[in-house]
Amino acid sequence: MFSRWSNSHHNQEDDSLQHESKAKELRAAIGPLSERSSKYCTDACLRRYLEARNWNVDKSKKMLNETLEWRSTYKPEEIRWHEVAVEGETGKVSRANFHDRHGRTVLILRPGKQNTTSLDNQLHHLVYLIENAILNLPEGQEQMAWLIDFTGWTLSTSVPIKSARDTINVLQNHYPERLAMAFLYNPPRIFEAFWKIVKYFLDAKTFQKVKFVYPKNKDSVELMRSYFDEENLPTEFGGKAILEYNHEEFSKQMIQDDIKSANLWGFDDKLQCVGNGHSRPEVAPEPVSLAPPAS
């Protein structure tokens, strides 16, 4: 028995050394980076891209370069709450005030509360909250969990297939290994038709992370309970907590997080008033070197 433990221990050490070597190889392969890209490309970040491409350096490099290109144009770290607040009025996507049992940030999605029609703005809002979830990860934790509540969902409130594909592509291609698990709670039968098409856009790793939970299916409920304390889990997901989305309170939280994000990325957010009464950050380089962001 000791010999078996010893062998597995050595194998883990070998894997760890090999992974470290691959990460160094990837860093050398991507070459010099801009200051902002350097902040994004932490060692943990490189490992996630390698993990997503089965530790193939060439494929990981291609994936990472595509993300750096996307981030340089989409600028997700520059999105501020006032730009997406309208999307959040119904609480269709919000960050929970609790973590799962592993300390992961939790995003709650309520597709039945869709309140807008611009697909670009909806994606902008979701990207903002993914970045916010990452910002609020505890040290040593790199992943988030999603809870999806289907109350009020109908095919008429569902996003078009193309939009679903675009959203999945952003998550898979630019936030690899960020999703630990997505729990789809009690989806209606009609969702199955939508899912049959959408699931083909998921790569094998993401597909394994999507779990359907039905209140009457004991195994699926037990799986979700293994991730969440039922005292924290809202009643909509079979737990005991009463969760009411308060847009004003959530907005205050997000504005505070915008300041935290600006500091992390080295911006100096000077809030200046714009015509509609919202404040807009005036972004300027921050000379102080700060801790690298959770990339």
Q: Which residues pair with 145 in a beta bridge?
A: 106, 181
**In 3-state terms, what secondary structure has residue 272?**
strand
Q: Does the pLDDT at position 283 exceed 50?
A: no
How many independent structural domains does the chain possess?
Answer: 2
Band (157; pLDDT cuts 50, 70, 90): confident
Average pLDDT over residues 178-190: 95
Weakest-pLDDT range from 33-42, 141-150, 209-218, 278-287: 278-287
Confidence (pLDDT) at 8? 57
- Say if residue 159 is in the same domain as residue 181: yes
Classify residue 8: in a domain, yes or no. Answer: no
Token code pair at residue 160: 């078009």
Long-range contacts of residues 190-199, Cβ cutoff 8 Å, at least 24 apart: 190/154, 190/155, 191/150, 191/153, 193/155, 194/155, 194/158, 194/161, 194/164, 197/161, 198/161, 198/164, 198/165, 198/168
- Say if residue 139 is in the same domain as residue 234: yes
Mark residue 277 as left, alpha or beta (left: phi above 0; alpha: psi -120 to 50; beta: remaining).
Answer: left
- Say if residue 121 is in the same domain as residue 173: yes
Q: Does the pLDDT at position 272 exceed 50?
A: no
Confidence (pLDDT) at 267? 82
Phi, psi of 106 (to 5 degrees): -120, 125
Q: Does the pLDDT at position 290 exceed 60?
A: no
Which is it for the CA torsion 25, 28, 33, 35, positive or negative? positive
Determine the structural domain holding residue 112 and report its residue range: 78-265
Q: Does the pLDDT at position 288 exceed 70?
A: no
C-alpha radius of gyration, the chain, whole number:
20
Task: Give the integer Cα–Cα distance in Å for 121 and 169.
Answer: 16
Confidence (pLDDT) at 5? 53
From the list 251, 281, 242, 265, the residue with the least C-alpha distance to 129 is 251
- Say if residue 83 is in the same domain as residue 228: yes
For 110-157, give the DSSP string: -GGG-----HHHHHHHHHHHHHHHHHTPPTT---EEEEEE-TT--TTT
- Say if residue 160 is in the same domain as residue 230: yes
From the list 188, 202, 121, 124, the residue with the least C-alpha distance to 158 is 188
Confidence (pLDDT) at 269? 58
Confidence (pLDDT) at 15? 82
Q: Does the pLDDT at position 204 exceed 60?
A: yes
Phi, psi of 50 (to 5 degrees): -65, -45
Confidence (pLDDT) at 167? 92
Confidence (pLDDT) at 4? 57
Average pLDDT over residues 221-229: 94
- Say if residue 130 is in the same domain as residue 242: yes
Confidence (pLDDT) at 282? 39
pLDDT digits (tens, 9 = 90+) for 60-107: 999 999 999 999 999 999 999 999 999 999 999 999 999 999 999 999
Confidence (pLDDT) at 6? 55
Q: Does the pLDDT at position 156 exceed 90?
A: no
Average pLDDT over residues 38-61: 97
Classify residue 129: in a domain, yes or no. Answer: yes
User: Any idea of the CA torsion for 46, 200, 165, 221, to the nearest 10 degrees?
Assistant: -80
Residue type at 202? L
Classify residue 97: in a domain, yes or no. Answer: yes
Among 74, 98, 114, the domain-final residue is 74
Phi, psi of 236 (to 5 degrees): -60, -20
Which is it for the CA torsion 185, 191, 195, 198, positive or negative? negative
Q: Does the pLDDT at position 12 exceed 90?
A: no
Average pLDDT over residues 219-223: 93
Average pLDDT over residues 209-218: 95
Confidence (pLDDT) at 1? 55
Average pLDDT, whole number, for the chain?
A: 88
